[in-house]
Structure formats: structure tokens, C-alpha cells
A = this chain, B = another copy of it.
Amino acid sequence: MSHALKILPEGRVLKVASGKILSDVLEDAGLRLSLYCGRRGLCGKCIVEIVRGALPSASDEERSLLARRKLPANFRLACRARVEGDMAIRIPLESLLLHMPVLSHGVGRSLTLDPAVKKISLSAQKPDLASPDSLLDFIQRRFPNVELHLSLETLRRFAQNHQLAPAAAEWTAVLYADKELLAIEPGDTTGRDFGIAVDLGTTTVIVELLDLNTGKSLDSTAGLNAQVKYGADVVSRITAAYADPRKLEDLRTAIVGGLNEMVGGLLRRNQVSSDSVYEAVVAGNTAMNHLLLGLPVTTLAVSPYQAVFSVLPALPAVESGLAISPLGRVYIAPNIKSFVGGDISAGLSAVDLEHQKGNFLFVDLGTNGEIVLKRRARFTATSTAAGPAFEGMTISCGMLALPGAVYKAGFKDRLVVETIAGEPARGVCGTGLIDIIAVALDKGFISAQGHILGPAKKIEVTNDLSLNQQDIREVQLAVAAVKTGIRILLAKNKMAVKDLDGIYVAGAFGNYLNIPHSMKLGLLPCIDRKKIFFVGNSSLAGAKALLLSRPERIRCERLANRVRHLSLAKDAEFQTMFIEALEFKAWNS
């Protein structure tokens, strides 16, 4: 027997076999419902209004849940209700899955909100006086067929909270990945559920606070990596930790302390308690990930530069030292191989590279330059030591892309510059460097070999700022490293620039990189500029994607395992190509 099911507001009418579960029918019809608790009838997020027709029967538990949410009698949970007659239903907007944009600008992608951490509110049950269940039983029984893991600390806190409020009518179970019970909080705390996304750069660290109920970003903060005092680049920090195990602990303490200050500030100013933050996702390069976790970097210091881990399950927050809930988890975006780390796997998630049709380059211009080439279904990655020049470090007047940084330059009779936020010029950031050098090259102030021509031996930027010969050399090295990396990746995949369907440019440059200028210097290959997509901080965007979607995390891990690494150091052609690339010159193919 079958029934007619009318779906409002769209008006479609489905023919449904009798007895079918409403959520299954709606999913089959292409409607993506919020099945937050995994069809367990516990969260009440898939409510539908029965506008007309046969009202499906409801269990006591379902009725009590609907009553707690103060819904009229004609509402039902789609994951519980069976179609037992003709009916018309209306699906409230909030019962549909949320799609979250991931990148703040540039090419968009969105994903479905489905975080690893979920909060489910449960009504306490009065104990049977003769045969009383344990306190934990009512939680465990609501999740049949799952052996809920929990720590002793979780159990202790629950018991202590129960001691303070033995008559509490409601409790909130905080679940991780549907099988770990992180916490049992008194009352209904489902409304307060937050997560932290971290872009752990060698130079810059960005921390963002997100609401896991809406997927929305609430606030963010940026700062210098507190490890910079141990060295500006990855290699110097690895060397420090390699030479002296105590330094490893110092480096760990520095970054954990620095992160905790940023997290603490963010939570205070948004009035969020750290106890409501059950997950942090960190996207960092391989070395930063190791140093954050206090893992020896011995194997990263010598060829073939093996990481200790690639894919790692989420770790107890308490072990990491991060100041979120000690019962929470810290997830590290997977290291791909060697120095192609979690910032890149996160970046690939952010742009959804795996699902783009065709051949693409993904170039992340940070302190290290990482490049991933997608040739149909095959991924190859490499990293080049670009150095921190693009982030303004090692440049005499360099600075991060902050207010007052010269970020754009052109030529009208003389060099004309723009600063971020229009503030008085305090220094030059990466995009400004590219612009200034391209103009200088164009106007003959420097040679293609990077020599500053003319007697001043410097390029005047403003009255107070100038680039010297050493600054130009730093940029030459950085550009050559990236250019050589791209060329070798293409060559090994028997591809030419014309075979590329697009280039994603990620990193500190944001979308301010001047494309003609960067092509003029040879930083980017010459292709149709519509095929160049600036994706900004894809590492942070990826960290957010992995925080907001556990399925995306699983996809990201699978992709990380599939990427093949190309070691430039092992490549015979590298030195030759690199020296050639030192010349500022546009690609000729």
C-alpha cells in the first residue's frame, strides 16, 4: 500500500510505501535534513510539521522531546515518524542541513555542517527504587549498539556535577565522532557549542572561534608564532630541537603558551567559557605540527625527511596542553609527506581540489612554498624552501600584511605605493615587494639578474623606506624556489603550462597579488588570468572545514594518503633549474 506525501512549501507530491520512515523518504527525494544525532531521535533537529492527514504515532520519548522544545502537537521527528496515510508536511528551514561557505573570499565552496563534536540533551530518569540503574546508565542506554568510550575524568566530573545537582532534570551528553562520551553537562547546554580553528604558520598564527551550532565564525585573532625567537624559519627551529631535546620542550611550551594566550583572549572577549570548547583543529606544516605536539624532529632533520605521523586520530586536549576543555579533542590536519604538511592537506580540503575536474596547480606561498599538482586523479606534491621573504621577514623594511604595510605599487612618473588601511607607510609586505620589484625591473632600476642599477644601490619606496641589494636577493631566491618547484612538478608529470585548467594561489598574499607583476618575475606561469584563483589563507579555511565537517576530515585523510611526494633535493635537475630561475623572467611556456 502506498500513500501520497505532499511536501510544503515546495508543493511536490511523493508516492510513498506505507510504513516508511519520513526522513528516509525525504532524503531519497533529495532533501537534505539535519540528522544531527544520527537518526537516533535524540536531538530533535529534524522536526517536520504535519499540516494535514494522518498524524504518525509518537513514542513517549519523542513526545517528551517535542514538549521540551515547546512544539505544537502536530510536529514530529522525521527520523522517527512513519508514513501511515496520506499527508501534507511542512519542513521548517532549520530542519534542513546548513551549508557553510569555507573560504572567506576567492573561489567558493560550501560544506554541510556535521562536526565531530555533538551535544545531545537528555532527560534524566527517575531511578527504579528497588533495582536502581547507575547514574551513567540513562546516558548509555540512549545510545544502544554503541560502546561509548569515556575517560575517568569525564565520569568523575559527571558524578561531581550530579552531587551538586542530584535532581537535575536535564543533562547534555557531549559526543565525539558518535562514540566517545566527552562530557555529561548538567542542564541543556546544547546552545553553547564552540570550536577553534588554528592556522599554525611558521611565522604567523591565526586562531578563529566558531559556533558549532551554526558553523559561523564568531571572531578571530592573529599573532606571531611565539617560536620565532628560536629562529625565523622551519630549518633553524628543527635544528635547535634536533641538537638539544630541552629545546624541543622549549619550542613546544612557546607555541602552546602563545596559542593559549590567543585562545584565552578570544574566549574572554566573546564570553565563551573554555569548557564549552570541545575541539580545536590545527592546520600547520609538518614541522610546526611536530613542535606543537613535542614530537622529536630527528627524522625531519635528515634525509629523507620522514614525519613521525601523517594521519592522526584526534588527541585528548589535555595531552596537548591547549586551553580548551580538558575533556575535548585536538585534531591535527594530516601531514601529507615530508614538509608538505597539514596546512596543505587542509588547503586542499578548503578548495576541494580532489573534486575539481581537470589539471590544477595548488601553490601555497608561505615561509615554505608548497606546491601540489593535480593531474586528473593523480596528486604530486613538493615543498621548496622559499624562506620568509613573502611574509616580510628577512627584508630590511619588510613587515606582515598589517595596516601601514605597502601592499601595492605602480608607476606614474615615479613609484606610487598604497598602504593597507591607508595608514602611513611602516614597511613593505609580500605583495608590495613583488610590485616594487616588477616596476623596478620594468623601468630598468634593476637588471633581470637582480642587480640594482645606478649609484644609489637601493630602491626608494617612500622617503623612509627602501629596498637594498640583499632584499632583492631574498626575493630572487624565494621566486626561484617556487618557480623551480612548479617546473619540476610539471616535467615529472609530462605536462606543460597549457595543460593546466587553473592555478590556486594560497598564502599570505591574500588576493592582492598583482598577477601581471608576478608573471613578469616568473613567480607564476603565464596563463589566462581567469584561470588564477586567489584563495587567501586556505590553511585556516581548511582547518575550519575540518572542524565543521567530520566527513570532510575523512576525505582529507584519504587524499593525504594518496598524494605522492617529489623530493626536490633528490632531483638531479633541481640545481640547474634553480640557478636558471634566479633570473627575473616570465615563463616562456
- Contact surface of A with B, Cβ cutoff 8 Å: 127-137, 140, 147-153, 155-156, 158-160, 162-163, 166, 293-296, 298-299, 303-313, 315-316, 319-320, 335, 337-338, 564-567, 570
Question: What separation, in Å, do the CA atoms of A8 and B131 have in the docked complex?
Answer: 54
Which partner residue on chain B sits nearest A561 by CB separation? B137
Instruction: Please tell me if the beta carbons of B298 and A149 are within 8 angstroms of each other in the complex.
Output: no
Q: Are A166 and B565 in contact (CB under 8 A)?
A: no
- Which residues on B sit within 8 Å (CB–CB) of A308? 134-136, 155, 158-159, 162
* Cross-interface CB contact of A294 among B129, B156, B313, cutoff 8 Å: B156
Copies in the assembly, this chain: 2
Most buried by B among A129, A132, A149, A151: A132
| A564-B566 Cα distance, complex, nearest whole Å | 64
Chain B residues whose CB sits within 8 angstroms of the CB of A320 once the complex forms: 152
Asked if A299 contacts B162 (CB within 8 A), the reply is yes
A570-B129 contact, Cβ under 8 Å, with A135-B309, A294-B156: yes
Q: A150-B313, A152-B294 are in contact. List 10 more A-B contacts (CB 8 A).
A: A127-B306, A132-B304, A133-B337, A135-B308, A136-B309, A136-B312, A140-B311, A151-B319, A162-B296, A162-B299
A298 — which chain B residues lie within 8 A by C-beta?
162-163, 166
| B309 and A134 form a contact (CB under 8 A) | yes
> Hey, which chain B residues are within 8 Å of A135, CB to CB?
299, 306-309
Tell me if B564 and A131 are in contact (CB < 8 A). yes
**Residues from chain B with Cβ under 8 Å of A130 in the complex:** 304, 565-567, 570
When A293-B155, A295-B155, A313-B148 are in contact, do A132 and B338 touch as well, CB less than 8 Å? yes
Contacts of A163 in B (CB 8 A): 296, 298
Interface centre among A129, A130, A150 (most CB of B within 10 A): A130
User: Would A293 and B567 be within 8 Å (CB), given that A135-B299, A307-B135 are in contact?
Assistant: no
Give the 3 A-B residue pairs with the shortest CB-CB distance, closest first.
Answer: A131-B565, A152-B319, A132-B304
Q: Contact at B296–A159, with CB atoms within 8 Å?
A: yes
Contacts A133-B337, A299-B135, A335-B134 known; A316 to B152 CB distance under 8 Å? yes
CA distance A306 to B134 in the complex (A): 5
Hey, which chain B residues are within 8 Å of A319, CB to CB? 151-153
A162 to B299, CA, bound (A): 9
For residue A294, which residues in chain B have a CB less than 8 angstroms away from its CB?
152, 156
Q: How far is the CB of A287 from chain B (nearest CB, A)?
A: 13
CA distance A539 to B399 in the complex (A): 69
Give the contacting residue for A304; candidates B127, B149, B160; CB below 8 A: B127
Question: Knowing A299-B166, A315-B152 touch, does A306 contact B132 (C-beta < 8 A)?
Answer: yes
Task: Pick the residue among B128, B132, B159, B295 that contacts A159 (CB under 8 A).
Answer: B295
- Nearest residue in B to A338 (C-beta to C-beta)? B132
Closest Cβ neighbor of A563 among chain B residues: B131
CB-CB nearest in chain B for A309 = B136
Residue of B nearest to A150 (CB): B313
Least Cβ distance of A414 to chain B in Å? 49
Q: How far is the CB of A147 from chain B (nearest CB, A)?
A: 6
Contacts of A564 in B (CB 8 A): 131
A305 and B123 alpha carbons, distance in the complex (Å): 20
Distance of A299 Cα from B128 Cα, bound (Å): 14
The interface residues of chain B lying within 8 Å CB-to-CB of A309 are 134-136, 155
The answer to whether B132 and A315 have CB atoms under 8 Å apart is no
- Residue of A152, A163, A566 with most partner-chain B CB within 10 A: A152
